[in-house]
Amino acid sequence: SMVLCFATDNDYPVVSPNVSRASPQIRSLTKTAIQILIGASLLATIAVGCASGNPVSPATASHQATPLTVTPTDHLKRIVSITKDIVQIVAIVAAATWASYRFGLFRERVPRGAISREVTHRPLTDSAIHLSLTVIFSNAGHVLWSFEPARQNLTTIQQVKPITSDHIMILEQQRDVGPDIPYQWARIDERPLAAPLEVEPSDTERVNYEFIIDNAIESILIYSHYGGTNRGWDAAMIYDISGE
């Protein structure tokens, strides 16, 4: 069996990850320099395009009492010159667009990502079940979405059912202390992020985990948290094993 679960990010203060590891001052100077170069290149190209019209001064125009005969070859040269100028402008605009994307000149400052999961299971023995879990990171924004291998970046599985009467009393006490605090279920196992993870804009990355759990477990809570110091993404789902 397979279950898909989608989640949204937490709503607390945001600081976007740097596209590079350079300091903010160096990145600011780099962006400014690139913008100046792009602007200068565009102005130079436009100037070349205007110059291709071969303007003449008033003194020179006074000597041209009789208009010159324009031949088909002159027309062709004129068209080729204009086409060349247009191609140059298009090439520079394309280069400017690529540079702005590559160096993050006009990127969003806030990553827009979503975490979903795919879960399947199968019996191994009379007392053990194999659980296969895939965490899917989908980057819908224009900012590089990255995570470091840290203890807080992990996926856990927790036992929901069966549950003892004593544990139910503990959950009720937790609810009385803080209604908005999630229940603390009995933790079965966890998998922290083992390596740096980067998700490019409009891209998807998958991280696969495996668990061996007791055959007596009927329902589990799968909880994932990935983020940095100032922002995190949470995803939680209930997965029923019994009756499958």
Residue 29 and residue 211: Cα distance in Å, rounded?
49
Which class is domain 3-15+112-240? mainly beta
Under the banding of pLDDT at 50, 70 and 90, the label for residue 79 is confident
Mean pLDDT of the chain: 77
pLDDT of 59: 52
pTM for this structure? 0.56
Give the gyration radius of the chain's Cα atoms: 31
Could you give the C-alpha distances from 143 to 14, 18, 95, 135, 186, in angstroms and in order?
13, 9, 19, 20, 37
pLDDT tens readout for residues 183-214: 889 999 999 999 999 999 999 999 999 999 99
Query: Residue range 130-154: average pLDDT?
Result: 92
pLDDT of 158: 96
Amino acid type, 65: A
pLDDT of 80: 86
